[in-house]
Structures are given as structure tokens and as C-alpha cells.
Amino acid sequence: MRQEVDGMKSVHEGVLTLHKPHPLLSGQRGNIDEMESKLTTEPAVSKCEVIQVAIVCAGHNSSRSMVTLIKSMLFYRKNPLHLHLITDAKAHLILSTLFDTWSIPQMEVSFYLADNVVPEVSWIPNKHYSGVYGLLKLTLPKALPSSLRKVIVLDTDVTFATDIAQLWALFQNMKSDQALGLVENQSDWYLGKLWKNHRPWPALGRGYNTGVILMDLSKLRGMNWPHLWRMIAERDLQTMLSTSLADQDIFNAVIQQNPRILHEIPCHWNVQLSDNTRSESCYTEVADLKVIHWNSPKKLRVKNKHAEFFRNLHLTFLEYDGNLLRRELFGCSNYSNSKQQSSYINHEQINEDDVCYEFRCVKYIKYRTHLFYLDYDYEQDTTDGSSEWDVTLVAQLSMDRLQMIESLAKHWEGPISLALYMSDTEAQQFLSFVISCETLANRKNIGYHVVYKEGSLYPINFLRNVALGQVTTPYVFLLDIDFLPMLGLYPYLKRVMSNLHMSEGNKALVIPAFESLRYRLNYPKTKADLLKMLDVGDLFTFRYHVWPKGHAASDYPKWRSATTPYKVNWEQDFEPYVVVRRDVPEFDLRFAGFGWNKVSHTMELEAQNYQFIVLPNAFVVHMPHAPSLDIAKYRANPLYKRCLDTLKSEFMNDLSIKYGKTFPNVIN
Amino acid sequence: MRQEVDGMKSVHEGVLTLHKPHPLLSGQRGNIDEMESKLTTEPAVSKCEVIQVAIVCAGHNSSRSMVTLIKSMLFYRKNPLHLHLITDAKAHLILSTLFDTWSIPQMEVSFYLADNVVPEVSWIPNKHYSGVYGLLKLTLPKALPSSLRKVIVLDTDVTFATDIAQLWALFQNMKSDQALGLVENQSDWYLGKLWKNHRPWPALGRGYNTGVILMDLSKLRGMNWPHLWRMIAERDLQTMLSTSLADQDIFNAVIQQNPRILHEIPCHWNVQLSDNTRSESCYTEVADLKVIHWNSPKKLRVKNKHAEFFRNLHLTFLEYDGNLLRRELFGCSNYSNSKQQSSYINHEQINEDDVCYEFRCVKYIKYRTHLFYLDYDYEQDTTDGSSEWDVTLVAQLSMDRLQMIESLAKHWEGPISLALYMSDTEAQQFLSFVISCETLANRKNIGYHVVYKEGSLYPINFLRNVALGQVTTPYVFLLDIDFLPMLGLYPYLKRVMSNLHMSEGNKALVIPAFESLRYRLNYPKTKADLLKMLDVGDLFTFRYHVWPKGHAASDYPKWRSATTPYKVNWEQDFEPYVVVRRDVPEFDLRFAGFGWNKVSHTMELEAQNYQFIVLPNAFVVHMPHAPSLDIAKYRANPLYKRCLDTLKSEFMNDLSIKYGKTFPNVIN
């Protein structure tokens, strides 16, 4: 053992300053190997060093999938991050809104529109499901700013199980020529032996997987990367006809020709859960898992010995409350300014001692918002000229009204824009509800916009504005989710609007509202049906028993016999359901929870001199439901009414100033 | 630089086998210091070594708090765990059920009843809110098995932010005499300078915090620990009169006398968020945080510069789906047998190809169950003899019926046993709902039993059995949550039961059921009221329009004029709400979701020759609600009816065999 101690001593006198034989160093072999391997694979990253990450993301589904990746990354990260997102227009809208409203401290996000670089790869014949976007990783050295020297490139279907800094640190192990850090493919499929007639592109062995890439942009630029890959791709395409794995085929062909640019990274940085994977050999313990790659078309349903473990990890982040990731890296507070750090709620204007503090805050909360959570594809029919009068139904809801969407969709075949107030977990339940619902699964003209829960008040007007903001038709029908429009309302509206010269002046078409107190309602098929049901007490005018003022101005007696549209005057507390131009004023954000959220809006229409025109052959019926927990909660809160009155006064005051009109004081 | 290379060489020839100068070792100073500090503070734990953890836990609230601690521990752990729980009878029932149904692989749980060791500390005058249980940590060397040599002792109000193995490894740093590893207190409060007349117990400096203890049981036993602490406590109590910090005062007094037994561990292993804490000096980066200790009475509402960060971490685990922690440590599979590993669902009996596979599975799922989620304290009134006839209302629900609990509590002043089917996040919402609801916050005779969601079917009969299983009164009233009992039903039942000789033979008292189709109902105050409302169509007999068979056997026409209880015969499809003895047969688990869940139970009562006796002056009324998402989902599923029919046949068959009776075939 003498020799060992000598060894220790020399180290002591040399660079290391171990003041005593360390238990690990004087311990048994196993530990030393362990330490050595730790030193080899885990070089350090400087404190607060910014980690650069690039992701190509196109369309609604990839955007959703990317969010889970980002959550897993944020959960474990301890460094500032800079995301570089190469997106199509859809993903750009979704993700820029999401990250703006998410307001994560110490995370910067830059967007690069895919359209700018697509021409560089669109000539490549490609059979992969990711289409042309799958190829965009090839263009990164050119697409990303020249000041950016290295970047981790990720597919949207990977999940982190550890701190990304450990991966970033591996750049330090890359030798001078090594420009691409990659993990080997883990399935024999890539050897071309599993399928008959499957001939993979040229590669070293199984080839390398491009789901996780350490990309040294400077080195690639230095070797004229765009020219390099293009030459090799053109040559190989002569025999291969098309790529089947998008960018991955081409990366591998380049590496086969230039093995020196490859730096192989340990396989647990890209544990591939494809079919026939040999990934098991790559981890023996949970601690070994770093990045999991769901690269099977079966995704979460893939069969794997440890699938349950992997699924649990994935579900963890899928359902994780993203708001909790707004936590600040307080060790690196210099990186971002203090404004950004907590900008998701900016309520400096409010006095914390104000008794209505909670109610006043709502207006300033930046609710994390995921627009177009599901596929959306609506093209207005321009052939018959009716698109000029096209109208989108706008509403908002939370989980307890989910089942209403299906009935609504059956009663309204036109486009719908819905804002949904949900938790991350509920968003998943919502997703499977829509997918498993035949009526909804095939409807692509419903825009679902998820607003994540925050605080205790239901931000009804924020939700309405979100749904309103995503409408593309010239007109909107502003409804509430617990109403069902009469069958045929959509085509009726389009017809009637063309006759009413809706485009001239400010007009609001009023759709009279009724209610049923009975749970099993035979929905009236016609106005005649409805009048009969009114007469026998099966239906009532809306809120007849408790709040007749809200709709009295619609003049129900006149409506009974009306056959042509008629004008009515605005009255105090009027809150009709209306069809208006899309550029209608937004709803006032100070009204959240219950009370005055629509009344204030109608008042602003009046201030803008809207004409209220009641439609004689249109109606909506309120479907009964048990009172929601929220209503009950706030009815019981004595502060609520008091604060609502204050907010009303302030709103009226603001309105007077804005429009130079005075409204009667309606506080009662 | 020559010397460095020499140094490296000697190492090479010695124990280390670095085959080339390592980038880290040949790099700059900073890295080496970092490496050294890593080696010093993080000795390794052997792969699959079992980590031993002891926690003292008493009462409902501590049990809830402990679950969050366990979740954080499980999330990061990579080693098998053995929990040693010292509990009172309440916590024992709650936690043994919880861990049994949680079925976490590679985690063993042992229970030690506090009653056995309480006498050893109950003589100590103690002002701490944790009462005598706070002192039990002193008894651990004696209470835990002598084969257990070391253990990490934790308070229930700590949260892990890293792998507990790192803490376990610190045992290796403890020198020969050191028996207690502790972190220093982080508030000057302990110096006795913050409050006037506050004189802390004797301690070294601020003293040490016992929220996290590395306890070397062998060494403590070797120094006759029970004698040691008792002597010092007795002496100091002569001047201090009582302990204000429970065990902590005594541990500190012992340490002050015997500093050699103390091993100080780095402060980030017990970051104390008490008021006036100086814990900030103990971490500069997120990476430094290891264990967070919510040791302020304000708990999550404590004011702290980084409180938001700490709260987010805590909320993460509070709301984390505990089912996801059932993931196996596949690197250590030898530790537990394969049976245990996935025993939360044991469906080996079921053929995976069976079309009714999903429906059949329900019966075998071990739903994670947290009994008595909230304070419960019900003592039967034994003074007037009515306790002999005491009856508990039994029901089950999910979140969408939460608001029913309040009305129910107003209509039924007796004990209630509720099973709630929820996610972990929903359980938190439920908790704040009850706390903020005046009616419920003060009711201690409602047992809330949380059954965590799993799979897609609502396990209605499992829930009923859970609620039924926790009843302590001799009788139960089996109801559904969407019914409101008439006011005064509880005392009426107790009166009537004594006259009916309920204790003799098998009797089921039938409470006739009615329904309202209107959602604004003036609840009938008396039977006369109810009859009037029936006559004008404001009320109907239950399911009159869609399923009259369910209650027809109650003989409503007879009930109208009945003034005394009358017997009725069982009929096919009868599913009345009944009062029965607590030892009634359980509900059959194969019926989940909707259909036959009560019918099957009534049929078994008939098989056991129960007499059905209708009460003339009792009724319940069904409160209307929108159809739940689940009903809609299963009505739309064609497999559902088919599988239900299969299950019915099998149930009838089983029943015939069990009771030797034949029932008419009712499959239609």
C-alpha cells in the first residue's frame, strides 16, 4: 500500500490539494472507477453560463409536445437558458404567445421563421412524417445568428431526466475537428436487417440519432457546412431517391464521409424508445437516464420493458403546473433584469392594503396562454360570396362545462373560438375528451385556446378577449357556453347580415335568449315551437325570475310577432347576446368572476353608438346546470359585492372620460 | 508544469487509472477546487443500498404533511428506502392504508406504535404545539429495532430538493464519537436576543435544529443514550420548568454537555424558513438547496426573499400525482420480489384479449387511499342511550359534486362518511374548499376519505366500501351524494330504529326517494309539503320518467297515506336507499361506472333475507344536475352495455352459488 500513499503525496505536492487521504481515494477500486468516470463524463459548466438550445417546431401538435420538453428542461435546469425556435407561422403564433405569457425568469426565446430557410431543403425528396420541417436542422449553422457558436439541438419528442447543464458540459470533450456530438442509433432497424427490402442510407454502423445534437456552429461554418451536406445529399439521392429519416439520413451520410467531425456522446443522453430498441444496454440504473427520446410513431404506447417508468416521467411533466416553473434562479439574478423576473403579474399600481386587492389584481395577471391547443384548419368558403358575412361563435368555459362543447358543435356548424380555463392536468383530460368524441375529433374549425389557471377568480373577460382575438371571420357571435343556439342559426345569420348592411356603421344583432328550468328539454325546433313552450311554462325568457333587466330591452313581447328585424334602445343593465364586427371593443378586464362582465361591454357598445337590432327568427336557449362552485363561493363573500361596486364606478368614470358621455349611475 | 505531470504519473502508477492527463486535472485551479469540494462533501452510496428513514407522525394533519415529504423523497431517490414510522393510532390507520394501497416498489414501511414509548417522555413538561409526540425522537434508539444501526430522522414539514442518498452518504464523514449529525439553527431567536424575557435552553451557540438528524443508533445505544438525555433533561428542567421546542431543547442540552457526539452537517441540508432566519447565507444558488424546512408556524405563508421559489417546490410535490411514483428502480430489482413491484394492479386473472378487459380490471385495481384526510373527531353520545341506534350517512363523490357536501351537512347533523375520488391536485382544492366553508370547517363528524384517481372508470362500489369501512356507529344510511335527506331525518331514524327492533334479524329501512327536475327547488319541509309538490308536478317519484322500476317496490301509493312502517317485498331491479347494520355485505367491486352498482347490492340483501321496511315519515330528494361527463362517455360506448350484461350474468351466477338461491334472469 506504500505506493498508493506515495501517489497521494505527489498529487498533494502537485496540483491537487487534498489535505488528508480522502475516503474515496483510499477506498476500494469500484469507487475510484466511479469517480474517474464521473470526472470523464461530467465536466463542469460555469455558474450562470447561458445554455443555448435550438428546436425546430411546426404546427399545433409539435407545439404541444415541445411544451412538455421545455417543462422537463426547466424543472432540472440551474442555468439561464436561451431557446432558439425555428417555427412555421402557426407554431410562431402559439409559442410566442405562450412564452410571452409564461414569463419564465432567466429564459430568453428567439424565433426564426422557417419560411426563410425552407427553400434550402425543400428540394430534397423526403418520406418522413415531419415533412420539410424535419430537414431544417441541416440549415441551423446558417439560420442561427453568427454570434452563436454552439447549440444543443433537440427534437420535440425528448424528455429530460436531469440538468441540461451536464449535456452542455460535454462540448468541452469535443476535440478540434469534432463539430457534431451524437448518440448512436439504438435499433437494428437502422442496419437494414429487420425489414425485407429496407435499405438504409449510408452511415457508420447503425448511424447516429439526431434527436439530440451537440452542434458546434462555428466549426460547421468553418468547413462550409451548407456546401458539404448539399454535395453529399445530391450524390446519395441519385441512388436513394428520397430520405426516409429526413435530416438524419443526410447527417449520417456526411459523417460516413467525414468521420472526424463526429464526437460520440454516451448513449444515456438519447435513450431511444423506438421499436426494437437496444436502449436497455445503455442504462442499468435510474440514475443513468438523462434524456428519453420517444422516437417511435407509437409514442407513449410503445412497448418497452421499462415503458411504465418512462411514461411516468413523461406524464410528470405533461401534467406539471407550468406556473411553478416561473421560479427564479436566484443565484443568477444578474442575468435578467428585475422587471422580467416577475412580469407575469405586474401590480405595482395596486396598493396591497386595498381591501379589493385580490379583485384589482386580476386585471394585471398575465395568464399563461396556449392558443390553438389542437389542430385548427378553417378556410372560409369564398366561392359563394358568403365569406363576406362569415361569423365565428365566441365563448369561454372551464372543465365543468366541457360536455357542452359537443352539443354546441352540433347546433353550430360554423367556426367556433373557445377559451378554456384549465390546469395543465385538465388540459390533458380535455385533449383526450376531444380526441375520443366523434363529433369533435373531426371538426377542424374549432379553435381551442387554453388559458392556464392562476389565482382564485375566473377571468371571464380575459378569456373572452383571448377567444375574440383569434377570430379570422369578419363577424363574431358573442355567446356564453351554457347556451345552445337554435339549429340553423349559422346559415340564418349569414343570410340576414347581407340584407342588413352589417358592414355599414356600428351594428349589434341581438339574439333573444330563453331558458329552461327543466333538465330534460326537447329543444325547440322552430320559433313556433318555442312560443308554444313559453306559453305552457316549459321555457321562460332568460333570467325571467331573477334578473329580467338583463334582456328586457330586447322587447320579448314585440319579438313574439316580429317577422322583420327591429331596432331597440340600450337600457341600463342590458346584456344581450350579439353578433358584431370582429373589431368590437374588448371586454373590460377588471370584471372577473361574476357580475357586470357583459353589462360593461354592452355599455361600451352604446358609448360607441352601436345600433341594437333584434333578429325575429333567431334564438338561443340556456341549458340548466347546478350552480358552479365559484358562484357559490363569491355569493358568500361580502367583500365581493362591495368591490364590484367600486369597480363599476371606476369603469363608468373611465367610460365617461373616454367617450365624453355620461351614463346614469347604476350602482345599487 | 513538469511537476504536475509527474504528479499525474504517480497517480497513474498508484491507485487511479487515468490513462491520459484529464482535462479537469490539467485545467485551471478553480475546477480542481470544485472537484475537491465535491469529493469532500459527496461520498458515494453503494448501488441499491437501502436508506433508512424514521419519522414521528401523529394525527390527521401530520399524516397529510408527511405525504408531501415522502413524495419529494421518492421523486429524487434512486435507492431502496425503508421508512420507520412512529405513529399514534390515527396516523397508523391512515398511513398503513395509504402505503398498502400506494404499493411503491423498493420501499418498505415499518410501523411503531407511539403508545409503547410515550411513557418515556410524557413526564417532560412541554409547551411545543407538537405535544408529547414532538419528544418521541429522543426514544428512537430504543424504539427502533436493534438491528437498525443508523437512520435519517426527519420532521414531517421538510421537503427534499435532491436525492436523499447524498444525505445518507454523510454518515461516512462522521468521526468515531459523533453520533448525531445536525444543522445549526438559522435564526437568532435561538440566541434569546429577539424577544424580551425569552431565555432559550442551554445550547452551543444558536443550537442545532432537529428537523433533519443523522442518527447513529449504535453509537447512541453504546453510550446509554436513554440514561444520558434523561439525566440532563431532569437537571435542566429544574431551572427551565418546561421545554418550548420539545425534543430539540433536550438534544441541544445533551450536545452542550457532550460536544463530541455532534457532527455538524452543511446547512443546506436543513434550510430553515422560520421567521428571522439567516438561511440565505447558506445557499447562493438553486443547486445548493437540498432540504427545505418549513419550521415557521406560518408554514407556506412565511415571508422570505425566496419564498416564491420554496413554495413552488413544495406545491410541486403537494400536487404531484403520487401514482407516478410507483415507478420501479429497475437497477435494484433484486431488492423486492416481483409480486410487490406491481401489486397495485394484479390482474393476472384477466385475459388481455377479453373485450371487457378494461371493465374487468377495475375489480383488481388497488386505488391509493388516504383515509381521514381531514380532522375527524366523533364521539357517540352515550348519555341518552341513543348511541345504540346511532347511524352514519355514507356516500361517495368526485369534484363535480363538491358543493353538495355543504347542503348535505346542513340537512344531516349526524356523522357522515364520504369517499372522494380525486387527483392529488383536486385533493388540495377540496382541502381549501372545506377550510373556507363555514358550515364544514367546524364539523368534525365528517370523515373524508380520499381515493386517488386511476384508470377511466369511476369505481363507485370501491368508494362505497371505503366509506362504509370507516363507520364506527352501529348503523349506516347508504345514500348517493346528489340526494338531500329531509331535515330532521337523523333524529327521526334514531327514534324509529329503537321501536323497530333493528338489532333483531336482517332489516333494511327504506327511505323513499323523490326527484325535482327544476333547479330552483323550495325543499319540502314536511311530508305534507312534499305530497302537495308531487300533486302539482314540482316533484316526482325518483326516476319516474326513465327508470320507475328502481324504486317502484317502495310502493309510493301506499306511502302517501302510510303512518306506520310497512314491509315490502324485493322486486327485480329494486335499488332503494336504506338504513342497515354496519356489517351489511360490501358492494360488489365488479360494477364500476354506471349500471347495476346498487341493484346488485340490494339483490345480495334479498339473498341474505333482509326485510325491507319502508319508513312512512322519511324521504330524500334528488337534486338535479347536468349529466356528468362520465355518464355521457359511457352511454356512447357500445361495449359498455355488452360488458355490463356479462358482468351481471357472472354476478348472478356467483350469488346463486354463494346463497344456494336462484334469481330470475334479469338481463335484458
Q: How far apart are CA B265 and CA B550, in angstroms?
A: 67
Higher pLDDT, B118 or B82: B82
Q: Are residues A489 and A376 in the same domain?
A: yes
A311-320, A367-376, A624-633, B490-499: range with lowest mean pLDDT? A624-633
pLDDT of residue A345 exceeding 80, the answer is no
CB A560 within 8 A of CB A436: no
What angle do the packed helices B247-257 and B225-240 form, to 10 degrees? 100
Query: Phi, psi (5° rounding) for residue B289?
Result: -75, 130
Q: What integer pLDDT is reported at residue A667 of this predicted model?
A: 52
A155: closest CA among A246, A21, A216, A279? Answer: A246
CB A326 within 8 A of CB A105: yes
Share of chain B above pLDDT 70, in %: 86
pLDDT of residue B166 exceeding 90, the answer is yes
CA separation, residue B42 to residues A22, A24, A155, B166, B179 (Å): 11, 10, 34, 6, 19
* For residues B205-217, average pLDDT: 94
Most confident of A581-590, B240-249, B517-526: A581-590
Domain boundaries, position A540: 369-631
Closest chain B C-alpha to A45 CA, distance in angstroms: 10
* For residues A50-65, average pLDDT: 95
Task: Determine the residue among A5, A15, A166, A358 to mutate to test chain B binding: the one whose Cβ has the most chain B Cβ atoms within 10 Å.
Answer: A15
Closest chain A C-alpha to B227 CA, distance in angstroms: 34
| Closest residue of chain B to A317, computed from CA coordinates | B320
Q: Is residue B416 part of a domain?
A: yes
Q: What integer pLDDT is reported at residue B13 of this predicted model?
A: 31
| B18 part of contact set with chain A, CB < 8 Å | yes
Q: Which of residues 460-489 of B touch A (CB under 8 A)?
A: none
pLDDT of residue B18 exceeding 90, the answer is no
Name, in order, each residue with C-beta under 8 angstroms of A603's C-beta and a sequence gap of 6 or more: A570, A652, A655, A663
Q: Are residues B58 and B176 in the same domain?
A: yes
Nearest to A7 among B13, B22, B34 (CB): B13
Complex ipTM, two decimals? 0.71
Q: What is the mean pLDDT of chain A?
A: 85
Q: Which of residues 265-294 of B touch A (CB under 8 A)?
A: 284-288
Most confident of A8-22, A165-179, A192-206, B542-556: A165-179
| B400 part of contact set with chain A, CB < 8 Å | yes
Helix, strand, coil distribution of chain A in percent, nearest 5:
40, 15, 40
Q: Which of residues 211-270 of B touch A (CB under 8 A)?
A: none
Q: Is residue B31 part of a domain?
A: no
| Domain stops at, among B267, B300, B319 | B267
What is the tens place of the pLDDT at every residue in B61-91? 999 999 999 999 999 998 999 999 999 999 9
Q: What integer pLDDT is reported at residue A353 of this predicted model?
A: 77
Grouping H, G, I as helix, E, B as strand and the rest as coil, residue B193 is coil
B157: closest CA among B31, B273, B266? Answer: B273
pLDDT band at B663 (very low <50, low <70, confident <90, very high): confident
Q: What integer pLDDT is reported at residue A515 of this predicted model?
A: 92
Q: Tell me the three cell numbers of residue A521.
A: 328539454
What is the tens place of the pLDDT at every residue in B442-499? 899 999 999 999 887 899 999 999 999 999 999 999 999 999 999 999 999 999 998 8
| A455 part of contact set with chain B, CB < 8 Å | no
Q: What integer pLDDT is reported at residue A14 of this predicted model?
A: 30
Q: What integer pLDDT is reported at residue A347 of this predicted model?
A: 54
SS (H, E, C) A40-73: HHCCCCCCCCCEEEEEEECHHHHHHHHHHHHHHH
Q: Is residue A443 part of a domain?
A: yes
pLDDT of residue B28 exceeding 60, the answer is no
Grouping H, G, I as helix, E, B as strand and the rest as coil, residue A218 is helix
Q: Provide the 10 A C-beta neighbour count for residue A521.
A: 17
Q: Is residue B32 part of a domain?
A: no
Q: Using alpha carbons only, give the angle A192, A198, A199 rounded to the nearest 5 degrees.
A: 70
Higher pLDDT, A638 or A464: A464
B454: closest CA among B420, B422, B418? Answer: B422
What is the tens place of the pLDDT at every residue in B557-580? 999 999 999 999 999 999 999 999
Cβ-defined contact of A626 to B627 (cutoff 8 Å): no
Q: What integer pLDDT is reported at residue A370 of this predicted model?
A: 98
Q: Is residue B4 part of a domain?
A: no
Q: What integer pLDDT is reported at residue A380 of this predicted model?
A: 77
Cβ-defined contact of B331 to A626 (cutoff 8 Å): no
Q: How far apart are CA B311 and CA A197, in angstroms?
A: 57
pLDDT of residue A346 exceeding 90, the answer is no
Q: Provide the 10 A C-beta neighbour count for residue A228.
A: 15
Share of chain B above pLDDT 90, in %: 56
| Domain stops at, among B267, B292, B307 | B267
| A540 part of contact set with chain B, CB < 8 Å | no
Pairing outcome for strands B507-511 and B262-264: unpaired
Q: Are residues A243 and A373 in the same domain?
A: no
Q: Are residues B254 and B387 in the same domain?
A: no
Q: Is residue A16 part of a domain?
A: no
Higher pLDDT, B39 or B20: B39
Nearest to B312 among A34, A327, A623 (CB): A327
DSSP for A505-554 reads S-EEEEE-EEE--BSS----SSHHHHHHHHHTTS-EETTTTT-THHHHTT
Side chain identity at B644, as an amino acid letter?
Answer: L
pLDDT of residue B505 exceeding 80, the answer is yes
pLDDT of residue B175 exceeding 90, the answer is yes
Q: Provide the 10 A C-beta neighbour count for residue B158.
A: 25
Which position has the grid cell 306506520?
Answer: B564
Q: How far apart are CA A335 and CA A48, in angstroms?
A: 8
Q: How far apart are CA B491 and CA B390, in angstroms?
A: 9
Closest chain B C-alpha to A585 CA, distance in angstroms: 33
pLDDT band at A247 (very low <50, low <70, confident <90, very high): confident
What is the tens place of the pLDDT at every residue in B638-658? 788 888 889 999 999 999 999
What is the tens place of the pLDDT at every residue in A9-44? 333 333 332 333 333 333 333 333 343 344 444 568
Pairing outcome for strands A51-57 and A150-154: parallel
* For residues B1-14, average pLDDT: 32
The structure's pTM equals 0.81
Q: How far apart are CA B167 and CA A331, in angstroms?
A: 22
pLDDT band at B333 (very low <50, low <70, confident <90, very high): low
| Closest residue of chain A to B309, computed from CA coordinates | A327
| A24 part of contact set with chain B, CB < 8 Å | yes
CATH of residue B555: 3.90.550.10
A612: closest CA among A531, A455, A500? Answer: A500
Q: Is residue A526 part of a domain?
A: yes
Q: How far apart are CA A58 and CA A269, in angstroms?
A: 24
CB A398 within 8 A of CB A481: no
Q: Are residues B384 and B518 in the same domain?
A: yes
Q: Is residue B345 part of a domain?
A: no
Q: Tell me the three cell numbers of residue B310.
A: 420554496
Work out how many domains chain A is built from and give that number.
Answer: 2
pLDDT of residue B195 exceeding 50, the answer is yes
| A350 part of contact set with chain B, CB < 8 Å | no
Q: Which of residues 292-311 of B touch A (CB under 8 A)?
A: 305-306, 308-309
Nearest to B3 among A14, A309, A629 (CB): A14
Q: What is the dihedral of CA A82, A84, A87, A93, to 10 degrees?
A: 30
Cβ-defined contact of B308 to A331 (cutoff 8 Å): no
Q: How far apart are CA A97 and CA A89, in angstroms?
A: 12
* For residues A488-508, average pLDDT: 93
| Domain stops at, among A251, A267, A283 | A267
